[in-house]
Amino acid sequence: MVVDDSVVIRGMISRWIGAEPDMEVSASLRTGLDAVNQIERIKPDVAVLDIEMPELDGISALPQLLAKKRDLVIIMASTLTRRNAEISFKALSLGASDYIPKPESTREATAAETFHHDLIQKIRHLGARARRRASPAASPALAPAPDRIREVLPHPVAAPAPQLQLARRSFSMLAPRVLLIGSSTGGPQALMALVTDIGPVIDRFPVLITQHMPPTFTTILAEHLARASRRPAHEAVDGEIVKPGRIYLAPGGRHMRVVRHGAETAIALDDGPPVNFCKPAVDPLFTSAIDVWQGSIMSVILTGMGSDGMRGGKEIVAAGGSVIAQDEATSVVWGMPGAAANAGICAAVLPLNQIAPKLVRLFSGDRS
């Protein structure tokens, strides 16, 4: 279901969806009020919901849509303004599954192409997961998670089908000196939960995060991470020295790497081409860290589409470091962590609420 007051945007998105063999447009509507009034008749799997609309805007329509169809996947779509980015973060806390920035103009070929690619991937992956959850053959729901996890994963998540036992590596015997985190779809919610409980790690070690996210959104995410962790968190600045006690977030639209700067470590940002269709990407951060910290690296790959972080994680393990991946049941999309787990590079694959306690123990000297 496409909900947007712009006839141009509605038509463009509808054409893109109609061209895909595994999805179709069930409705194309102009306002949030239309969506609320028709949701029970249309019964879509996914709604692409604009933020600014007449009669009833997206953020007001969101809870009403979920009240009428709890398993609805809602992807918020908005232009890149600070106000819309703030509203998108609020939407995630109210139950939206994801967000996507709309190009300022559909005449910008590159921006429209990126929007097209990202939107179709989000619809496909999030819609498929919702269908698996709703399937009568799905396993019984997991036991209730702690309150904070329920907040960041608002929809009930069914346990995945039994999997082959994935190979596990031993944790590195080297003491970690840095924590690297990569995430994508579902990442903002997961990151907020994680940083809340790793204060003892942040206090003694630097934490560097790459979240697939556009400019403006990363600015606001850094502010949210600072509030959640009660520690300094900001978008990384090119050339700044990396210090313990701080969270560094890759700014939207730029890759974040680390480099030696005399006896210290500095941030290096670049405007190179996308890596794994992403900018910023996780792999550049992971691979660059090896030159600085060798095998004394602890890396975490959280929920997200694609396989970004797997190649860099493989190199970290080869250098003597360790990788932890979020498990399938608590991931919004088990793409990135699943790729790492299936590559056999992980020392642990854990539910989101078990990752922080494990990190605290590992950074305190536990090696198992």
Asked if 223 and 106 sit in the same domain, the reply is no
Active-site option among 97, 184, 307, 331? 184
What is the per-residue pLDDT across 192-231, written as a single tens digit (0 to 9) for each? 999 999 999 999 999 999 999 999 999 999 999 999 999 9
Better pLDDT: 166 or 84: 84
Better pLDDT: 147 or 328: 328
- Return mean pLDDT, the chain: 90
Give the closest residue to 299 by CA, choosing from 267, 340, 331.
Answer: 340
pLDDT band at residue 104 using 50, 70 and 90 as cut-offs:
confident
53 within some domain: yes
What is the per-residue pLDDT across 20-39, written as a single tens digit (0 to 9) for each? 999 999 999 999 999 999 99
What is the predicted pLDDT for the residue at 157? 41
145 within some domain: no
Which structural domain range is residue 313 located in?
A: 178-363
What is the per-residue pLDDT across 38-81, written as a single tens digit (0 to 9) for each? 999 999 999 999 999 999 999 999 999 999 999 999 999 988 88
What is the per-residue pLDDT across 250-281, written as a single tens digit (0 to 9) for each? 999 999 999 999 999 999 999 999 998 899 99
Q: Does 135 qualify as catalytic in the annotation?
A: no
Asked if 79 and 191 sit in the same domain, the reply is no
142 within some domain: no
Q: Which of 134, 162, 191 is the last residue of a domain?
A: 134
- State mean pLDDT over 165-187: 92
What is the predicted pLDDT for the residue at 149? 33
318 within some domain: yes
Asked if 125 and 185 sit in the same domain, the reply is no
Asked if 330 and 188 sit in the same domain, the reply is yes
20 within some domain: yes
pLDDT band at residue 113 using 50, 70 and 90 as cut-offs:
confident
- State mean pLDDT over 286-309: 97
156 within some domain: no
CATH classification of the domain holding 182: 3.40.50.180
Q: Which of 74, 102, 134 is the last residue of a domain?
A: 134
Asked if 89 and 219 sit in the same domain, the reply is no
Asked if 226 and 348 sit in the same domain, the reply is yes
Active-site option among 34, 98, 197, 308? 308
Better pLDDT: 97 or 136: 97
Asked if 223 and 341 sit in the same domain, the reply is yes
Asked if 183 and 130 sit in the same domain, the reply is no
CATH classification of the domain holding 91: 3.40.50.2300
Asked if 123 and 203 sit in the same domain, the reply is no
What is the per-residue pLDDT across 121-149, written as a single tens digit (0 to 9) for each? 999 999 987 777 666 554 443 333 333 33
What is the predicted pLDDT for the residue at 143? 35
Q: Which of 134, 157, 192 is the last residue of a domain?
A: 134
Active-site option among 97, 212, 296, 307? 212
Q: Does 212 qualify as catalytic in the annotation?
A: yes
Asked if 121 and 185 sit in the same domain, the reply is no
Asked if 127 and 193 sit in the same domain, the reply is no
pLDDT band at residue 107 using 50, 70 and 90 as cut-offs:
low
Q: Total domain count for the chain?
A: 2
